[in-house]
Amino acid sequence: MTLLHTPPEVSGQEDPTAAVHAAAARARVAARELRSATRTTKDAALRAMADGLVAATPAVLAANADDVALAQAAGTSPALVDRLTLTAQRLAGIAQALRDVADLPDPVGEVVRGSRLPNGLQLTQVRVPLGVIGVVYEARPNVTVDAAGLALKSGNAVLLRGSSSGRRSNRALVDAMREALLGVGLPADAVQAVPGDTHASVQALITARGLVDLVVPRGGADLIQAVVTGATVPVIETGVGNCHVYVDEAADVDMAVAILLNSKAQRVSVCNAAETLLVHAGIAEAFLPVALAALAQEEVTVHGDAAVVAAAAGTGAGVVPVTEADWLTEYYSLDIAAGVVASLDDALAHIARYGSGHTEAIVTGSTRAAAAFVAGVDAAAVMVNASTRFTDGGEFGFGAEIGISTQKLHARGPMGLTEMTTTTYVVVGDGHVRP
């Protein structure tokens, strides 16, 4: 695979701001070309990118092995190493996600609404690309591909700033996708890795107002807040996932245990994993011993309140007393905070105090309780008798996602193709002038 079309890295002697802004300027040129690209061309590019990634598997995995080895040597947590790690199977799945995006409807040109005004003007609101999107993210190489695919399909150029821990993996992935773009006649600069791997390059990206139209941060709370507070470019805040599973008094115990285990233990290193279990006092005696034993089988450490600690006797569960900090923690590990609440209202009050607005779940056999929970909780996604792990663009049928927004403006929840567009009003007249 040739690397001729990869922008050079920034050395310590070069100005990172100038290099990042130069990349952004190239992205703006590419974005203008993408703006008028047909769906046929964009879909061909996505499929070529998928094929290119598969063909580049040996190079990508070799680069990733270097990143993983360095992360392990630095003492990175197993959960974060898992996020960083690519396998042939994971890479094939990432490539398939691009093909899935190619099969989705193109949002560009979609008519949102239209009408003929009383004066005879024809008014139409249509979806158009945002332009240049910057993505700042941690050690998740799949984000490199997901973001590029969604940006391309929605007619946007993308500037990718992954963490330094995934630098080699991300460069190999970007190389493969850029080669594929050239092969179908689209500009390689539609997909670029942001030059440099210092904080200065991030700051240059998020303050490139006029060159970059939107920044999306993906990662932990510290990264997200650094981008939100430091950016002059508009930001969509993606979510810290302090997700709760509330087991209502009317829940089926077996169903609740299954949902809890899937929410917590199916994959701990993701933002839609559950971090807190709340149990109605009316079902605690029947549910907790079963649930705690099941969590112990999955090697989950429970940070429990007094009622949970008492219920753990004889279950073999690893239960430690919960702290105030535990209720606020997104663990990314086999840990969960747990407490007993007196009522559904108390559960809602707890979530309102400690939740991050990402995903909240209720397990109940009561339609009244389910309705009260849905109405009372403020979150991007609410699950009724389903795992928190379903909050995902792929699971929702959006294809890959660029992130899960926990804010309330422009986009909320999994951000797919539609959320990566804005709108233009097209007004057609027949010599109309305003009186």
Domain count of the chain?
2
Choosing from 238, 272, 298, the residue where a domain stops is: 238
Cα 139 to Cα 383: distance, rounded to the nearest angstrom? 28
- Report yes or no: 177 and 97 within 8 Å, Cβ to Cβ: no
C-beta atoms surrounding 312 within 10 Å: 22
Q: What is the per-residue pLDDT across 354-366, written as a single tens digit (0 to 9) for each?
A: 999 999 999 999 9
For 54-63, 319-328, 370-379, 396-405, which range has the lowest pLDDT when averaged over its residues? 396-405
Cα 76 to Cα 165: distance, rounded to the nearest angstrom? 10
Residues 137 and 248 occupy one common structural domain:
no
Is residue 163 scored above 80 in pLDDT?
Answer: yes
Q: For position 7, what pLDDT does the model report?
A: 52
In a domain, 5, yes or no: no
Cα 352 to Cα 99: distance, rounded to the nearest angstrom? 39
Residues 325 and 210 occupy one common structural domain:
no
Residues 217 and 247 occupy one common structural domain:
no
Q: Once rounded to an integer, what is the mean pLDDT over residues 136-160?
A: 94
Q: For residue 398, how far is the Cα from the chain centroid? A: 12
- Report yes or no: 279 and 245 within 8 Å, Cβ to Cβ: no
Residues 28 and 169 occupy one common structural domain:
yes
C-beta atoms surrounding 435 within 10 Å: 4
Cα 408 to Cα 391: distance, rounded to the nearest angstrom? 16
Q: For position 218, what pLDDT does the model report?
A: 86
Residues 213 and 307 occupy one common structural domain:
no
In a domain, 424, yes or no: no
In a domain, 281, yes or no: yes
Residues 162 and 256 occupy one common structural domain:
no
Q: For position 314, what pLDDT does the model report?
A: 79
In a domain, 427, yes or no: no
Q: Once rounded to an integer, what is the mean pLDDT over residues 221-231?
A: 90
- Tokens found for residue 179: 């080669």
Q: Once rounded to an integer, what is the mean pLDDT over residues 295-311?
A: 95
The CATH number for 255's domain is 3.40.309.10
Residues 252 and 234 occupy one common structural domain:
no
- What does the H/E/C string look like for the chain? CCCCCCCCCCCCCCCHHHHHHHHHHHHHHHHHHHHCCCHHHHHHHHHHHHHHHHHCHHHHHHHHHHHHHHHHHCCCCHHHHHHHCCCHHHHHHHHHHHHHHHHCCCCCCCEEEEEECCCCCEEEEEEEECCEEEEEECCCHHHHHHHHHHHHHCCCEEEEECCHHHHHHHHHHHHHHHHHHHHCCCCHHHEEECCCCCHHHHHHHHCCECCECEEEEECCHHHHHHHHHHCCCCECCECCCCEEEEECCCCCHHHHHHHHHHHHHCCCCCCCCEEEEEEEHHHHHHHHHHHHHHHHHCCCEEEECHHHHHHCCCCCCEEEECCHHHHHCCCCCCEEEEEEECCHHHHHHHHHHHCCCCEEEEECCCHHHHHHHHHHCCCCEEEECCCHHHCCCCCCCCCCCCCEECCCCCCCEECCCHHHEEEEEEEECCCCCCC
Q: What is the per-residue pLDDT across 178-204, written as a single tens digit (0 to 9) for each?
A: 999 999 999 999 999 999 988 999 999
In a domain, 161, yes or no: yes
For 27-41, 53-67, 302-316, which range has the lowest pLDDT when averaged over its residues? 302-316
Question: Which residue reads 């099941």 in tokens?
Answer: 294
Of 256, 258, 257, 227, whose CA–CA distance to 240 is shortest?
A: 227
Q: What is the per-residue pLDDT across 306-354, written as a single tens digit (0 to 9) for each?
A: 999 999 987 878 799 999 999 999 998 999 999 999 999 999 999 999 9
Residues 134 and 190 occupy one common structural domain:
yes
Q: What share of the chain has pLDDT > 90, as a percent?
A: 81
Choosing from 206, 238, 270, the residue where a domain stops is: 238
The CATH number for 216's domain is 3.40.605.10
- Report yes or no: 392 and 381 within 8 Å, Cβ to Cβ: no
Q: For position 5, what pLDDT does the model report?
A: 47
In a domain, 409, yes or no: no
Residues 227 and 255 occupy one common structural domain:
no
In a domain, 140, yes or no: yes
Choosing from 238, 273, 306, the residue where a domain stops is: 238
Q: How confident is the model at residue 3 (pLDDT cuts 50, 70, 90)?
A: very low
Q: For residue 232, how far is the Cα from the chain centroid? A: 22
Residues 295 and 219 occupy one common structural domain:
no
In a domain, 134, yes or no: yes
Residues 271 and 133 occupy one common structural domain:
no
Residues 20 and 113 occupy one common structural domain:
yes
Q: For position 14, what pLDDT does the model report?
A: 65
Domain that holds residue 263: 243-390
